[in-house]
């Protein structure tokens, strides 16, 4: 029996693998504290966080969660020391090189949320190539990486693009609906997250998918992201499965 299907220890609930969320979104928080606890540089925490991401991405694919979205770098993260920013960008670059090589074999589609225009040309090129190559991978499991992403920035970019279409006669202000605006977001065509997870003990959204999370269920944990395992994700999913989602109804 696969390790994740074994009965969890103690009082933990079991996951019903026939009722999984379609879209899980995660704020990968706590890398710095994980490193500090071990007397390591913060960059070592991000390297461990990138490994945790790999494990969780494969796990979601294996159990059949179609969409995983992760917050890798926010529009505010540029305020960090240059060395730390470079380390995170380097990890992303390595990951994308690996993905480009194994994407078809491993069945992943990769997509980006965020303003890629300010990235270094080589990283931006890798992001664009990964998205282009993803079109050849059959749908089934998609990883969305939020890179230079901020929810408010995403909304401003969407409104500007819609405004430009209005001026060009391709959109009509009288027809603006939630669906129309959703079509201008980075997440266009992707279902809203069902479950938003934030590890590391922080209880805030930090500009992560504010529009898309309007009806999401939230799950928080004290586990630091590099220690986040498939077993922890199972706890989140099992908890999610106990929630009564009414979407404003009764
Ligand atoms: C937040 O923890 C984490 C980040 C800002 C970076 C996340 C990046 C990665 C996990 C690596 C690259 C990603 C991929 C998809 C390969 P923090 O540094 O704020 O931690 P702290 O709150 O403990 O200081």
Name the residue ranges covered by the structural domains of the chain.
19-150+191-239
Q: Over the chain, what is the mean pLDDT? A: 94
For 194-210, write each residue's pLDDT tens digit: 999 999 999 999 999 99
For 2-17, write each residue's pLDDT tens digit: 544 444 444 568 999 9
Q: What is the DSSP letter of 203?
A: -
| pTM across the whole model | 0.94
Q: How many residues does the chain have?
A: 250
Query: Is 29 noted as a catalytic residue in this protein?
Result: yes
Q: Confirm if 103 and 57 have CB atoms less than 8 A apart.
A: no
CATH of 19-150+191-239, one of 3.40.1180.10, 3.60.40.10, 3.40.50.2030, 1.10.540.10: 3.40.1180.10
For 52-80, write each residue's pLDDT tens digit: 999 999 999 999 999 999 999 999 999 99
- Give the per-residue pLDDT at 247: 86
Residue identifier of the C-alpha nearest atom 3 of ligand 1: 29
> In the numeric block, which tokens belong to residue 131?
């998205």
Residues enclosing ligand 1, CB less than 6 A?
28-33, 46, 49-50, 53, 70, 72, 77, 88, 91-92, 95, 145
CB count in 10 Å sphere of residue 145: 24
Indicate whether 180 pLDDT > 90.
yes
Q: Give the dihedral sign, CA 147/20/155/168.
A: positive
The rounded Å distance from CA 81 to ligand 1 centre is 13
């Amino acid at each position: 029996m696969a390790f994740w299907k074994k009965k969890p220890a103690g009082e933990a609930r079991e996951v019903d693998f026939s009722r999984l969320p379609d879209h899980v979104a995660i704020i990968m928080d706590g890398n710095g504290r994980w490193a500090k606890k071990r007397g390591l540089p913060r960059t070592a925490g991000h390297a461990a966080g990138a490994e945790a991401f790999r494990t969780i991405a494969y796990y979601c694919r294996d159990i059949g969660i179609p969409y995983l979205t992760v917050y890798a770098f926010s529009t505010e993260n540029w305020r960090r020391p240059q060395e730390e920013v470079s380390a995170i960008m380097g990890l992303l670059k390595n990951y994308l090189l690996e993905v480009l090589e194994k994407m078809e074999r491993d069945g992943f589609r990769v997509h980006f949320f965020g303003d890629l225009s300010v990235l270094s040309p080589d990283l931006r090129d890798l992001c664009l190539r990964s998205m282009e190559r993803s079109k050849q991978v059959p749908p089934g499991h998609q990883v969305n990486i939020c890179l230079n992403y901020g929810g408010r920035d995403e909304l401003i970019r969407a409104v500007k693009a819609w405004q430009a279409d209005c001026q060009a006669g391709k959109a009509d202000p009288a027809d603006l609906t939630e669906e129309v605006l959703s079509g201008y977001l980075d997440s266009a065509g992707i279902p809203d997250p069902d479950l938003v997870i934030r590890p590391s003990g922080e209880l805030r959204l930090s500009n992560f998918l504010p529009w898309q999370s309007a009806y999401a269920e939230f799950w928080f944990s004290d586990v630091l992201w590099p220690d986040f395992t498939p077993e922890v994700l199972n706890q989140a999913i099992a908890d999610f499965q106990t929630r009564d989602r009414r979407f404003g109804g009764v």
